[in-house]
Chain A
Amino acid sequence: MTAFVVRRIVVNIVVFVLIGIGVFLLVRAAPGDPVRMMIRPEDLQEGSEAFIQARRAELGLDDPILVQYGRWFLDAITGDLGSSFVNRQPVSELLLERLGPTILLMSTALGISLLIAIPLGVVAAVRRNTSVDYAAAALSLGVISVPSFFLGIVAIYVFSLQLGWLPSSGMSTAGGGGGADILKHLIMPAAILGLAGAGPLTRYVRGSLIDELSADYVRTAEAKGGSPARVVTRHALRNSLIPLITIIMINIPQMLAGAVVLEQVFAWPGMGQLAVRAVTTQDYPVIVGFALYVAALVLVCNLVADLAYAVVDPRVKVT
């Protein structure tokens, strides 16, 4: 077990370093000169060429690529990801202050998708091939087919503009505030993100419960006179939810993708909004920082998924 854990951690670190090299090389290969990008066009005057050359040397952009990579890597692992080209703020600071809203959005959405997926999956499994089951399947197919940003626009149209119940953008009302205010802003993006995540989760709960329902111990429980509800909730469901933690971990990166898009629609001040803005302004340090944060998140989720699967279910043998 220890060897398994150590090997997994080492593999993940290697992959993270490889991703770092990949992103670094991509940015170096990208069109455009970083120095020119840091200077606003209106400041570019006659004779700036010498200044640009001096600045390039000063920033070490004329050094061999390996030297540049080594320097960047050392900075990056100490948490220094450089500064934004656009507003000169340190990248790690920018990302960290937006981490909170994104985590709030994603965890609420995760809660919502579990609240939808577990009951729906159970009913679909127990009442297999009935209208409820087909409705659950239709929902799964529906939420993967309708783009979440379109759903977001429709929700804004209905709940913000027509009914006036919920605010359409941001995380809190200017001047207002408090938990209730944030909650009101949170409902729509979190509900849509949660709905999107509920599709695959429902399918998973249904499939896993159907497998368990055909197990011998379920027949035993039924033979002993357990009511159907008791057999499902006390016996089968418990076992079928064992790998849920793994499934959730695999889903978190996918949910992040949804959050990036919905943050844009609802002007939610999270990491995704920052990243999209950075991409449209070609703010490379911020893009790179975002990429590394996402890579770290994905790898940690993967690791937890692998370990949890082995730890939670002692029947799983790891090698």
Chain B
Amino acid sequence: MSELRPSLDTPDVATAQDVVAAESTTGARSRRRSPAAMAMRRFRRNKVAVAGSIFLLVILVLAVFAPLIAGQSPNAVDLGAIRQAPSGEHWLGTDASGRDVFARLIYAARVSLLVGVAAALLSVLLGTVVGAVAGLFGGWVDSVLMRTADMVLSFPPIVVIIVLAGILGPSIPILILAIASTTWPTPARLVRGVTLAVREREYLHAARVAGAPRRWLLRKHIVPAAMGQIVVVGTISVAGAILAEAVLSFLGLGVQPPQASWGNMLNDAQSLTVIQSMPWLWLPPGLAIAMTVLAVNFVGDGLRDAVDPRQTGRS
């Protein structure tokens, strides 16, 4: 199926020839600078990507040091002060239970980032193993794995996660597993492509002749060759996972209250009175999601250009 038709899902991924070409050109210059260092230099020249990184760094600091910065507990109910507008005491006002919105917002960043990063890591890990196995073994193993990948890819993750969360019950681990189990095909296809590209190269033949087991080939040759692009796909997966967490929690199927997440904070905004007269309840978490996801995507785009300058996505 994948060979038959164009696809929208895989972000601009270098073809096999590109990878080989990139290796030979970078190889010649590697005495002066490693490919990673050169990629870093190119990344730093990309203003949008750097701005995205700085924004993410700020969010990360807020999340990590939330107890110090918030000054109040995110779950402290104060029925004497419900739905207050922003003030000196409550920077972003209070919600329907009198909880401080600013405190909830930065505590929620912890959950959103945790779910986003954990789900993306798991998805990339799974995809790398599947892709490398498919590429190395070839034959029917390859067809079965890749057909499965195509099949999984054709299902919309959000709908699958809704069904899974609905049946198994909503919780953070289920959420992470559900996101990873629906998004692994993208890294899998990518790693398979790289594996096929390097499989027939001399150094792999040499390693094989020397008696290296497949596990060794995978760890020492294939994963390093694919690393740059794995990082790119992994970064973009973080954006998708943060969005998925937000959507699911918004629907009440993800992170459960009283624990705050950006998605479930927006859950309160399903009533017209809240939308109308209490924008401090829904605007901050909504903007937090949008800006964080945008920043992650900027960084992902910047990394893609940095890892493979000829594959700029703007042909």
Query: What is the interface of chain A, defined by CB distance below 8 A to chain B?
Result: 15, 23, 26-27, 30-31, 129, 133, 137, 141-142, 144-147, 149-150, 153-154, 156-157, 160-161, 168, 200, 203-204, 207-208, 210, 243, 246-247, 250-251, 253-254, 256-258, 260-261, 264-265, 275-276, 278-280, 282, 284, 287, 290-291, 294-295, 298, 301-302, 305-306, 309-310, 316, 318
Pick from A15, A150, A257, A284: contact of B159, CB below 8 A: A257
Output the nearest chain A residue to B151 by Cβ-Cβ distance. Answer: A15
Contact of B252 among A23, A251, A280 (CB under 8 A): A280
Complex Cα distance, B162 from A258, in Å, reads 12
**Contact assessment for A129 and B275 in the assembled complex, using a CB-CB cutoff below 8 Å:** no
Closest chain B CB from A236 CB (angstroms): 15
Cα(A156)–Cα(B6), bound, Å = 36
* B194 contacts the other chain (CB 8 A): no
Judge whether A129 and B279 touch: CB under 8 Å: no
Choice from B169, B250, B252, B253 contacting A31 with Cβ under 8 Å: B169
State whether A302 touches B154 (Cβ < 8 A): yes
Can you report 14 residue pairs joining A to B where beta carbons are below 8 Å apart? A129-B314, A145-B239, A147-B290, A149-B247, A150-B286, A153-B269, A251-B8, A254-B156, A257-B157, A260-B162, A261-B247, A276-B252, A276-B253, A279-B253
Structural contact, B163 and A23, CB atoms closer than 8 A: yes
Q: How many residues of B contact A (CB 8 A)?
A: 47
Which of B6, B276, B290 makes the CB contact (< 8 A) with A246? B6
Given contacts A147-B247, A253-B159, 12 further A-B pairs with CB under 8 A are A27-B167, A30-B168, A141-B301, A147-B289, A153-B266, A153-B282, A210-B315, A261-B251, A294-B155, A294-B156, A295-B155, A302-B1
The 10 closest A-B pairs by CB, nearest first: A279-B166, A257-B156, A150-B286, A257-B158, A145-B294, A145-B293, A146-B290, A309-B5, A253-B156, A291-B163
Contact A256 B167 (CB under 8 A): no
Task: Find residues 149-201 in chain B having any chain A CB closer than 8 Å to their own CB.
Answer: 151, 154-159, 162-169
State the Cβ distance, A293 to closest chain B Cβ, in Å.
10
Q: Do A141 and B297 touch across chains, with their CB atoms under 8 A apart?
A: yes
Residue of A26, A253, A254 contacting most chain B CB atoms (<10 Å): A254
List the B side residues contacting A156 at CB < 8 Å: 272, 275
Q: A149-B250, A153-B269, A280-B252 are in contact. Are A256 and B314 (CB under 8 A)?
A: no
CB contact under 8 A between A318 and B4, given known A137-B314, A287-B166: yes
Of the candidates A30, A142, A298, A306, which one forms a contact with B294 in the assembled complex, judged by CB atoms under 8 Å apart?
A142
* CB proximity of B55 to chain A, nearest CB, Å: 12
B230 within 8 A of A: no
What are the residues of chain B within 8 A of A254 when measuring CB–CB? 156
Min distance, Cβ A312 to any Cβ of chain B, angstroms: 11
CB <8 Å contact, B269 and A161: no
**Residues from chain B with Cβ under 8 Å of A316 in the complex:** 4
Q: Are B8 and A200 in contact (CB under 8 A)?
A: yes
Q: Are A276 and B162 in contact (CB under 8 A)?
A: yes
B residues with a Cβ closer than 8 A to A are 1, 4-8, 151, 154-159, 162-169, 239, 243, 246-247, 250-253, 266, 269-270, 272, 275-276, 279, 282, 286, 289-290, 293-294, 297-298, 301, 314-315
User: For the complex, what is the distance from the CA of A144 to the CA of B155, rounded to whole Å?
Assistant: 17
Q: Which residue of A lies closest to B277 (CB)?
A: A161
Min C-beta distance of B254 to chain A, whole Å? 11
Looking at the assembled complex, report how far the CB atom of B314 sits from the nearest CB atom of chain A, in whole angstroms.
7
**Is B297 a contact partner of A144 (Cβ separation < 8 A)?**
yes
Complexed CA–CA distance, A146 and B289 (Å): 7
B272 near A253 with CB under 8 A, answer no
Q: Which residues of A contact B266 (CB under 8 A)?
A: 149-150, 153
Q: How far is the CB of B105 from chain A (nearest CB, A)?
A: 14
CA distance A257 to B314 in the complex (A): 28
Q: Is the CB of B286 within 8 A of A147?
A: yes
Are A145 and B290 neighbours in the complex by a CB distance under 8 Å? yes
Q: Say yes or no: A275 contacts B162, CB within 8 Å.
A: yes
Q: Flag if B294 contacts A204 (CB, 8 Å).
A: no
How many whole Å from A317's CB to the nearest CB in chain B? 10
Say how far B238's CB is from chain A's closest CB, in angstroms: 12
B23 to chain A, nearest CB (A): 26
CB distance from B283 to the nearest CB of A (A): 8
Instruction: List residues of chain B with CB within 8 A of the CB of A168.
Output: 272
| Beta-carbon contact of B168 and A26 below 8 Å | yes
Cβ–Cβ contact B275 & A161, under 8 A: yes
- Does the CB pair A287–B8 fall under 8 Å? no
Bound together, the chains give a CA A207 to CA B12 distance in angstroms of 11
Q: Complex Cα distance A99/B151, Å?
A: 24
Q: What are the residues of chain A within 8 A of B315 when measuring CB–CB?
A: 207, 210
Q: Give bound CA distance, A275 to B151, whole Å.
A: 22
In the bound assembly, the distance between CA atoms of A261 and B252 in angstroms comes to: 11
Cβ–Cβ < 8 Å partners of A204 in chain B: 6, 8
Q: Which residues of B contact A129 (CB under 8 A)?
A: 314
Rounded to whole angstroms, the CA-CA distance of A29 and B159 in the bound complex is 20
Q: Shortest Cβ distance from A72 into chain B, in angstroms?
A: 15
Contact B275–A26 (Cβ < 8 Å): no
B76 to chain A, nearest CB (A): 26
Q: How far is the CA of A138 from the CA of B75 in the complex (A)?
A: 38
Q: CA separation between A207 and B4, bound complex, in Å?
A: 17
B145 vs chain A, min Cβ distance (A): 15
Interface core residue of A31, A146, A246, A265 (most chain B CB under 10 Å): A146
